[in-house]
Amino acid sequence: MQYAWKLPYGLTLTPGVKYVSFERNLNSPLNQKSGTAADFSHTWTKVLPSLTLHEQINHDWSAYAQYAQGFLAPNLNVFYVPNASVSGQPSPEQTDNYQLGTTYKTDRLTISADLYYINFRNAVTSTTVGGNTVFSNAGGAVYKGFETEATFYAGYGFSLYGNLTFNSAKQKDTGDWMPNAPRQTAALGVIYERGPLHGSLISKFVGHQFGDTGDQQPIGGFMVTNLAAAYTIKSPTTWMRNTRVGLEVDNLFNRTSIDGLAGYTAQDNTPLYWTIPGRAVFATVSTDF
């Protein structure tokens, strides 16, 4: 529930509130991972307030400030233990989210930027050893950073697109970097849309991160380029409309950089890694009737 309150000077104040009730039921003669019977249920509830202040500075330019609380119930796989009913109820992840941003939009240029700050409580991390995944409560964490995005129409159907983020994600108690949280991300590419033809060529960069807690298992940055094209036929037959034929190539240059920690071996704790999936080509045909 929310209400938009129009104020003078182009201001709009929007308070809101949401009630979340999430029930998890686990009733199985053979629980995954543990291999034992499971009969367990639990309900998590939370009231989530929010507040947004929006200012329309002029026809092209606006700014906003936002606050909202977030809530995420524990994943089902944290209950894959011998006796979920007596193993304690994992605390839900909760956040206080703050964002301050601005957007400028004309016929040819759209650009936006924002600062964000997220106060995390009960942040859940996981470690896999010998195929067994152990979940841990990392306690408090703070995610903060800057992000910006822009699209410029260059003419003849072509637009230039880019985005850039600088991020920080650290545990409160230790100051260590949270796992799987890159320091930077970026994207740059060209988008084409004119008549029935659509296409894009976009390269995405993910910066340095750590695969495990305690600033362990550093993973370098990597880049992936994706290509997509589609052609739309408005009415190929009397009973078909907007038939779209598309081709997509993911990881165009077939990069195989390491992009994540898969876990450790049980025998000697040797780290294992995931790599970017190799080049993949998809052809699609869709239509409306």
pLDDT at 88 over 70: no
Q: Where are the beta strands (DSSP E) in 92-239?
A: 93-105, 109-121, 124-129, 132-137, 141-155, 158-171, 184-194, 197-206, 209-212, 216-219, 222-233
One domain for residues 96 and 184: no
Residue where a domain stops, chosen among 49, 80, 105: 105
Share in percent of the chain as helix, strand, coil (round to 5)? 0, 65, 30
One domain for residues 67 and 165: no
One domain for residues 58 and 9: yes
pLDDT, tens only, 257-289:
999 999 999 889 999 999 999 999 999 999 988
Query: Looking at the domain assignment, is residue 135 inside a domain?
Result: no
One domain for residues 152 and 268: yes
Q: What is the pLDDT at residue 42?
A: 80
Query: Looking at the domain assignment, is residue 120 inside a domain?
Result: no
130 pLDDT tier (thresholds 50, 70, 90): confident
Residue where a domain stops, chosen among 50, 82, 105: 105
pLDDT at 172 over 80: yes
* Mean confidence (pLDDT) of the chain: 91
Q: What is the pLDDT at residue 23?
A: 85
One domain for residues 29 and 166: no
One domain for residues 150 and 289: yes
Query: Looking at the domain assignment, is residue 39 inside a domain?
Result: yes
Nearest to 230 by CA among 242, 239, 220: 242
One domain for residues 151 and 65: no
Helix (H, G, I), strand (E, B) or coil at 78: helix
Q: What is the pLDDT at residue 31?
A: 64
Residue where a domain stops, chosen among 105, 134, 169: 105
One domain for residues 60 and 1: yes
> Looking at residues 145-157, what average pLDDT do you find?
98
Token readout for 196 is 């029935």
CB 283 within 8 A of CB 246: yes
User: Within a 10 A sphere around the Cβ of 281, how many other Cβ atoms?
Assistant: 11
Query: Looking at the domain assignment, is residue 110 inside a domain?
Result: no
One domain for residues 204 and 87: no
Domain count, the chain: 2
Give percent of the chain above pLDDT 90.
72
Q: What is the pLDDT at residue 98?
A: 99
pLDDT, tens only, 41-72:
788 899 999 999 999 999 999 999 999 999 99
CB 141 within 8 A of CB 169: yes
pLDDT at 148 over 50: yes
Query: Looking at the domain assignment, is residue 117 inside a domain?
Result: no
Q: Which domain holds residue 71?
A: 1-105
pTM of the model: 0.86
One domain for residues 187 and 75: no
> Looking at residues 232-260, what average pLDDT do you find?
92
Give percent of the chain above pLDDT 70.
92
